Amino acid sequence: MMIRAYPEIYVSKAQTVLGDAFDYAINTCGIPGEDFIRFFTASLISRRLENGEPAVLAGKSGIEIAVDIVLETTGKMLSVDPQQNFERSREYWIGWAICYYQWYSDKNFDDIFKVLSFADLQMMYQTLHEADITKFIEITDDRIKRGNKSTNLKRIRTIYGCTQAQLAKNSGVSLRSIQMYEQRNKDINKASAETLYRISKVLGCNMEDLIEK
């Protein structure tokens, strides 16, 4: 059973806060959606929301959150008066849905937005905004899995039938380095020629086969 950052009873409030933040920043203040996503993922607010900090979950409104995000990342103060909306906008739904998915999956907002652009989310709204949230989860999970396809190193190693530990032992390349290359936490394209040669020799492939295009 997955242990999530905060109890489910707070999710609805968090969704409302992030939905209002997206709606206010994009529709009222005129910030392009992709820009606001960039500001949000770069801000401390995103990490605090991921961690379930009460001050973010329930201590501030979505408008206050949007103001904090933009001030922190750009140094500019949003001062546009909020508009009274009687219907939930597309941008509200985007923040609302992403907030739920982040809580449900326990993934970082930054990782989610790496595979879901603002344009992607706008298109998803057309068919999903009236559907159960589980449909959004299913589609987003699939997008993330496809976006995180295996590296060439992992693919070749798996075909060869070699474990990471065996590859490390036989190549002399540290296990940690191999793990980081496969997780894309370390760029194999920047590895030394000696490292590529040692790995390729063990796996019976060309050095170029390990390079990510």
**What pLDDT, in 10s, does the model give residues 15-53?**
999 999 999 999 999 999 999 999 999 999 999 999 998
- Tell me: pLDDT of 185 over 90: no
Would you state the pLDDT for residue 131?
94
- Tell me: pLDDT of 69 over 80: yes
Would you state the pLDDT for residue 1?
59
- Tell me: pLDDT of 160 over 80: yes
User: What's the pLDDT band for 183 if we cut at 50, 70, 90?
Assistant: confident
Would you state the pLDDT for residue 200?
95
Would you state the pLDDT for residue 184?
79
Secondary structure of the chain in HEC code, one letter for each residue: CCCCCCCHHHHHHHHHHHHHHHHHHHHHCCCCHHHHHHHHHHCHHHHHHHCCCHHHHCCCCHHHHHHHHHHHHHCCCCCCCCCCCCCCCHHHHHHHHHHHHHHHHCCCHHHHHHHCCHHHHHHHHHHHCCCCHHHHHHHHHHHHHHHCCCCHHHHHHHHHCCCHHHHHHHHCCCHHHHHHHHCCCCCHHHCCHHHHHHHHHHHCCCHHHHCCC
Mean pLDDT of 91-118: 94
Would you state the pLDDT for residue 41?
96
Answer yes or no: pTM beyond 0.85: no
